[in-house]
Amino acid sequence: WVFLWEKGYQETDSVVSSVTIKVKGVTLTNTSALGARIWDVADYVIPPQEENTVFVMTNVILTPNQRQGHCPELPDDKTECKVKNNCVPGYVSTHSSGIQTGECVPYNTTIKTCEVFAWCPVEDDYHIPKPAFLQEAENFTVLVKNNIWYPKFNFSKRNILPTINSTYLKNCIYDSQTDPFCPIFRLGKIVEAAGQNFQEMAVEGGVMALQINWDCNLDRAASHCVPKYSFRRLDNKDSAHTVSPGYNFRFAKYYKDSNGTESRTLVKAYGIRFDIIVFGKAGKFDVIPTMINIGSGLALFGVATVLCDIVVLYCMKKKYYYREKKYKYVEDYE
């Protein structure tokens, strides 16, 4: 077990890794609010570079042309009002869009809410777009470049193997059966391989793991040290716990007109964050662990003999019979 299965004759080392990621894909949307619009990598990959991670926006709530001023707050049980006395000047709650002015103003023809000093109009995120705004994101691709190093053995390699040429790299898409070493992954396939539905996940977002395993036996040729890819969803999808699901965040794009008036477009981005997790270990023959495990094995054989004697001579029903056979009693002739 120790020598053959656990390779007790080898010294081992843990992997040191670096990852770079590049996403590609273009999609078209056509809505009454935005009209026809092309979305490319600069629009949906936020931020452009992260460490071992890439976020791809799949759904969005846009609030364009916001300016600082006075406007009605979104209606809820704390902001709806009937008269001015219902609003407290300077009041700010955790979910406020701004600071209350103390005025009660019409939100629409039937509802009044407390007025706030904020970026106006305030964001309305009560209704998430379904289906997802960027449905075609499942056809986007991500190129994962991974370099690994085992410092004990001064062994390094990358997941773009020496057998891969530029022509193959331009046309291949990872498939566990036909292209298991292609480093280009279709986003929809990643989610599908983890047992999830991409279009469902795209609505509110989530977190996926792309795992790269580098378990290498360096007693064999370096060509046998290859990556193995696997996929899983990291955020919990539990139908019994639906509070604050998925993954989203906000950011804004700011502008100034010719008069110096500042405005912004507020973006609430929903999407899938892909975490690249690299792990593994390498082993190579070394005299020291070999001798240690041989010595440990011999010591265990000695302990086994003692344990067997204890069981046979003191625990079994025929212990007296076995004791007579094991020991020979002699008389003292003196």
249 appears as a binding residue in the annotation: yes
Query: Which has the closest alpha carbon to 192: 163, 232, 241, 220?
Result: 232
24 appears as a binding residue in the annotation: yes
86 appears as a binding residue in the annotation: no
Contact 144, 153 (CB under 8 A): no
Contact 263, 196 (CB under 8 A): no
Q: How many CB atoms lie within 10 A of CB 189?
A: 18
Query: Which has the closest alpha carbon to 19: 53, 56, 55, 57?
Result: 53
Q: Where are the beta strands (DSSP E) in the chain?
A: 10-14, 16-24, 27-31, 35-39, 53-72, 98-106, 112-120, 141-150, 155-158, 184-186, 206-213, 216-217, 228-233, 248-256, 262-279, 281-285
Question: How far is 246 from 58, CA to CA, in rounded Å?
Answer: 12
Contact 55, 46 (CB under 8 A): yes
Q: Residues with Cβ < 8 Å from 93, sequence gap 6 or more?
A: 78
Query: Which alpha helices (H) appear in the chain, and where do they start and end?
Result: 41-44, 166-171, 187-193, 198-204, 287-310, 319-326
Contact 130, 143 (CB under 8 A): no
273 appears as a binding residue in the annotation: no
Within 13 Å and on the Cβ side, how many CA atoms surround 115? 15
Q: How many CB atoms lie within 10 A of CB 34?
A: 12
248 appears as a binding residue in the annotation: yes
Question: How far is 138 from 208, CA to CA, in rounded Å?
Answer: 13
22 appears as a binding residue in the annotation: yes
Question: 216-217 and 281-285 as β-strands: parallel, antiparallel, unpaired?
Answer: parallel
Question: Per the annotation, where are the binding residues for ATP?
Answer: 22-24, 141, 248-250, 268
Question: Per the annotation, where are the binding residues?
Answer: 22-24, 141, 248-250, 268
